[in-house]
Amino acid sequence: MPANEPAVSRVLFITPELTPLAKTGGLGDVAGGLPPALKALGLDVRLVMPLYGDIQREAHGLRPAGLEVRVVVAGQMKPCQVWQGQVGGCPVYLLGNDEYFSRPGLYGRMHGDFPDNLQRFVFLCRGAVELARALDWPAQVVHAHDWQTALLPAYLATAPFDLGPLATAASVLTIHNLAFQGIYPRYDFHLTGLPSHMDDIEGAEYWGNISLLKAGLMTAGAITTVSPTYAAEIQTPELGMGMDGILRRRSADLHGIINGVDYAQWSPGADALLPATYSVNDLGGKTACRRALLEAFALDDSQPGRLLMGFIGRLTHQKGVSLIAEAGEALLEGGASLALLGTGDAEMEVALGHLAARHPGRVGLKLTFSEKLAHLLQAGSDLMLMPSRFEPCGLNQMYALRYGTPPLVHATGGLKDTVSPFDPASGQGTGFVFSEFSREALLEQAHRAAQVFAQPVLWQRLVANGMTQDFSWTASATRYLELYQAVAKRR
C-alpha cells in the first residue's frame, strides 16, 4: 500500500435518506454530500438505502443491480430487489420489497408513522449485510445514520447471525437528531433480530420500551453528532431527551463534527433553480430573485425598504415555529414581510395560516415541500429566520450565508457554531443571534437587523461576510476519515 493511501479504504454508508433520491431533511443532504468528499480523499464509499416507492427510478438513472438477495425479518425470508445508481460518483444500492417500501412516503403519511416501521428498518439493516455478502465486499467501516439504521452497528457488535464480509467491520453511528429514537413496544423486541441479551437496560431496553437508536448508541464503535455544541448539549438532561446518561457514559467516543455544505447544489452563482444567478461581487441577480419571491408568495412590494424575512423548514416544535407565530404581528409592525415555506404539524400550519390570512400581502405562506421554492427563498429573502428551540446542525443557515441572506438564529447547537453575531462597530460577524428562547429576544434581534438593513453599506458588509464563509465538506470529511481509522484500529 502506498504510504499516502489511507489504511481504511472501504466504507459502507447505510442511510434512510439520500439527496436527490429521497429526503425529508438535512440527513438526506449529508448522505449526499459527505460520501463524495470522502471519495475525494481516496475512499471507496458505497451507500445502501431503501428503494422507496416514491423514488423516480428512471429520472435518477437507477437500474436493477442483478444481485440475488434475501433478507430474514422476524424469522421469515423476504424477497429483496436490489437496484443500483450513483450519487456524486459513489455507488448506491437500493433495497426494495413491495410489502415494506412500495408505498408513498419515507416514514409515514401526513401526520402518522407507518405501523410497520420497525420491520421496514430491520429489513434495511439486515439487507445491508446481505448486500455486502452478495457483492462480496468487505467494508472496513459501516457508517450508520439515525435510528433507522442503528441496528446495523448492534448486529456488527453482537453477531446474532452470520455477518459474512462485514464480520470484522467497525462502526460509526451519527445522530442527526436525537428527538427521533425509534421507540417500539418491548414485546416487539423479537422482531429486531438482536440476541436476547440485548433485551436489557444494557442493550435496547429504554424506559420499558425498546429504542433502536439506543441499541446503536450502546454498541457502535464511535458516535458522532453534527456539531460540537450539540455534542455537548445532548449530554445534558435539558437536551439529552432521555439519552443523556448513555451519552455521558460514552462521552469519550462521542464526537461533534459540523456538517458541510454541498456547494455544487447550493451556490447562487450556479443555481439552475433560480431565475437569476449572482455572486458576492455582483449582487444584481439577488434583486431579481427577490422580485420573483415576492411574486411567488403574493407579497406586496409597494413600500420599498421592507425587510423580507424567509423561513424554510419542518413546521415542528423543534424549529421554533410557535415563536414566529407569536412574534409575527410585532415583526410586521417593525416593517418586515414574511415568506414562509414548510410542512409539518397541523397546529403549526393553522397558527401560521391565521397569521397569513390576517395579513395578505405581508405574510406569504406555502405549506408544501418544494426544492425550487427553497432555493428561491434562500436567494430572494433579505434575512433567514431560524429560531429553532434546538438544532443539531442546521443546514439552512449555512445555505443562507452563501446566498447573501444573513440568518437570525437562536444560539443553540449548530446554529451557535456557524453564525456569529454581527458587530456594526467592527464590521465582523455574519448574522443575528439571540440567546434566550423567547419572543422578546427574537424581536430584539429582528430590530437590530432592521437597523443594519437601513444602512446599505453596513448591510453589504454583513452580506459579504456571510457569502465568503466556507463550510465545504472537505474539512469535516477529513475528521470522519480520522475517526474511521481510529475505530477500525480498535476493532
- Contact residues for ligand ADP (CB under 6 A)? 25-26, 29, 177, 312-314, 341-343, 369-371, 374, 393-396
Name which of 29 and 417 has its Cβ closer to ligand ADP: 29
Name which of 434 and 459 has its Cβ closer to ligand ADP: 434
- Minimum CB–partner distance for residue 393 and ligand ADP (Å): 6
- Minimum CB–partner distance for residue 444 and ligand ADP (Å): 23
- Minimum CB–partner distance for residue 387 and ligand ADP (Å): 13
Rounded to a whole number, what is the distance in angstroms from the first to the last CA of the chain?
A: 20
Name which of 314 and 448 has its Cβ closer to ligand ADP: 314
Name which of 26 and 320 has its Cβ closer to ligand ADP: 26
- Minimum CB–partner distance for residue 367 and ligand ADP (Å): 8
Extract the C-alpha cell encoding 222.
464511535
Name which of 17 and 253 has its Cβ closer to ligand ADP: 17
Tell which residue, 297, 273, 298, has the closest CA to residue 285. Answer: 273
Name which of 16 and 26 has its Cβ closer to ligand ADP: 26
- The whole-angstrom separation of Cα 357 and Cα 367 is 13
Q: Are 316 and 331 in contact (CB under 8 A)?
A: no
Name which of 95 and 467 has its Cβ closer to ligand ADP: 467
- Minimum CB–partner distance for residue 29 and ligand ADP (Å): 5
Name which of 459 and 473 has its Cβ closer to ligand ADP: 473
Name which of 394 and 429 has its Cβ closer to ligand ADP: 394
Q: Are 14 and 144 in contact (CB under 8 A)?
A: yes
- Minimum CB–partner distance for residue 449 and ligand ADP (Å): 20
Q: Which residue is nearest to ligand ADP (CB)?
A: 26
- Minimum CB–partner distance for residue 67 and ligand ADP (Å): 31
Q: How would you write the chain as a 3-class SS string?
A: CCCCCCCCCEEEEECCCECCCECCCHHHHHHHHHHHHHHHCCCEEEEEEECCCCCCCCCCCCEECCCCEEEEECCEEEEEEEEEEEECCEEEEEEECHHHHCCCCCCEECCEECCCHHHHHHHHHHHHHHHHHHHCCCCCEEEEECHHHCHHHHHHHHCCCCCHHHCCCEEEEEECCCCCCCEEEHHHHHHHCCCHHHCCCCCCEECCEEEHHHHHHHHCCEEEECCHHHHHHCCCCCCCCCCHHHHHHCHHHEEECCCCECCCCCCHHHCCCCCCCCECCECHHHHHHHHHHHHHCCCCCCCCCCEEEEEEEEECCCCCHHHHHHHHHHHHHCCEEEEEEEEECHHHHHHHHHHHHHCCCCEEEECCCCHHHHHHHHHHCCEEEECCCCCCCCCHHHHHHHCCCCEEEECCHHHHHHCCECECCCCECCEEEECCCCHHHHHHHHHHHHHHHCCHHHHHHHHHHHHCCCCEHHHHHHHHHHHHHHHHHHC
- Minimum CB–partner distance for residue 430 and ligand ADP (Å): 16
- Minimum CB–partner distance for residue 298 and ligand ADP (Å): 17
- Minimum CB–partner distance for residue 385 and ligand ADP (Å): 12
Name which of 166 and 178 has its Cβ closer to ligand ADP: 178
Q: Which residue pairs, CB below 8 angstroms and at least 24 apart, start in 77-83?
A: 78/123, 80/123, 80/127, 80/130, 81/51, 82/131, 82/134, 83/51, 83/57
Name which of 177 and 322 has its Cβ closer to ligand ADP: 177
Tell which residue, 434, 429, 442, has the closest CA to residue 401. Answer: 429
- Minimum CB–partner distance for residue 182 and ligand ADP (Å): 17
- Minimum CB–partner distance for residue 72 and ligand ADP (Å): 32
Name which of 59 and 252 has its Cβ closer to ligand ADP: 59
If you search the block for the grid coordinates 455507488, which residue do you land on? 91
